[in-house]
Amino acid sequence: MAARRAARNMGLRLVQVLLVAVVARAPAAHAWRKEGHYMVCKIAESFLTSEASAAVTRLLPGWAGGELAATCSWADDERRRYPWSGALHFADTPGDCQFFYDRDCHNTKGEKDMCVVGGINNYTAALMNTSAPLVDPTVSLMFLAHFVGDIHQPLHCGNTVDFGGNTIIVHWYNATTTNLHRVWDLDIIEKAMKDFYNDDLSIMTHVIMQNITEAWSEDEREWEACSSRAKTCADK
Ligand SMILES: *[C@@H]1O[C@H](CO)[C@@H](O)[C@H](O)[C@H]1NC(C)=O
Ligand SMILES: *[C@@H]1O[C@H](CO)[C@@H](O)[C@H](O)[C@H]1NC(C)=O
Ligand SMILES: *[C@@H]1O[C@H](CO)[C@@H](O)[C@H](O)[C@H]1NC(C)=O
Ligand SMILES: *[C@@H]1O[C@H](CO)[C@@H](O)[C@H](O)[C@H]1NC(C)=O
């Protein structure tokens, strides 16, 4: 029961925290980079209740050194081992700015639930099922922490036709040729880190963390009050 509530708290906290976190890329087309996932989870960890934190710590693998953030790229690292998991990192739609689970949540073979929304549901349910979990809870936690990060990258919920912006070639600050997906996954975070945070991930993480509780703390209410389904209300 405690673990179940802790898992739910953690999920909620991750969701709240990730709403304001911008992040990075990774080896394959649809993934944030290591630093991004690390930062997202590092921030989320700091918002866990002591109960949730204890539950998470109990589930962490030894190599994580007691740090959830250290496991948050595991799902990318293990893609080759679990080829079916590739589709779980995103949820693209046909470009009508609407997501219909039944229509959109499937992989390229048409298998249902195989998208990031299905993945989050799957591993949340697995974690909450303390009676006889089918999946190793450590694996469920690591998938969940990763997918909640992925779903907050706007182009992980992009258009199927351009593979979430992967085929849209753009120039980043006139210099490098990149693609729109990668701009969001990697280029924005790298540039911000260089220009504003002395190229130091821990400073950037700390400032974002502070802003969540201070400068941006009122924004959450505005997001919650957003009634438009056609455009974002986050105009800051
Ligand atoms: C749910 O988890 C199981 C075990 O890891 C996996 O085989 C299955 O593909 C997952 N399905 C989704 C939709 O995440
Ligand atoms: C919990 O897991 C067991 C299998 O290990 C499954 O039979 C049962 O339906 C699950 N319960 C829920 C609520 O998902
Ligand atoms: C990009 O190129 C344009 C035109 O060549 C130039 O005016 C502008 O200053 C350049 N911007 C940057 C950031 O280098
Ligand atoms: C975030 O906090 C820093 C100070 O820690 C402040 O300078 C900055 O303006 C804040 N950013 C936003 C977007 O409020």
pLDDT digits (tens, 9 = 90+) for 141-165: 999 999 999 998 899 999 999 999 9
Which residues partner with 172 through β-bridges? 176
Residue 24 structural domain: 2-232
Burial bucket for residue 175 (CB in 10 Å: 0-12, 13-18, 19+): exposed
Which residues partner with 178 through β-bridges? 170
Nearest to 124 by CA among 206, 236, 14, 234: 14
pLDDT for the residue 223: 74
Per-residue pLDDT band at 232 (split at 50, 70, 90)? low
Among protein residues, the one with the nearest Cα to ligand 3's atom 10 is: 174
Among protein residues, the one with the nearest Cα to ligand 2's atom 13 is: 129
DSSP state of 12: H
CATH number, domain of 155, equals 1.10.575.10
Alpha helices (H) along 95-156: 101-104, 116-128, 137-151
Per-residue pLDDT band at 16 (split at 50, 70, 90)? very low
Q: What is the pTM of this model?
A: 0.80
**DSSP E strand stretches across the chain:** 169-172, 176-179
Decide whether any atom of ligand 3 lies within 6 Å of the 174 Cβ: yes
Residue 130 alpha carbon to ligand 2 centre in Å: 9
How many domains does the structure of the chain reveal?
1
Contact 202, 220 (CB under 8 A): no
What is the C-alpha to C-alpha distance for residues 141 and 147, in angstroms, rounded to an integer? 10
The ligand whose atoms approach the alpha carbon of 132 most closely is 2
Residue 176 alpha carbon to ligand 3 centre in Å: 13
Q: Which of 104, 111, 122, 142 to mutate to test the pocket of ligand 1 (most atoms within 8 A of CB)?
A: 122
Residue 124 alpha carbon to ligand 2 centre in Å: 12
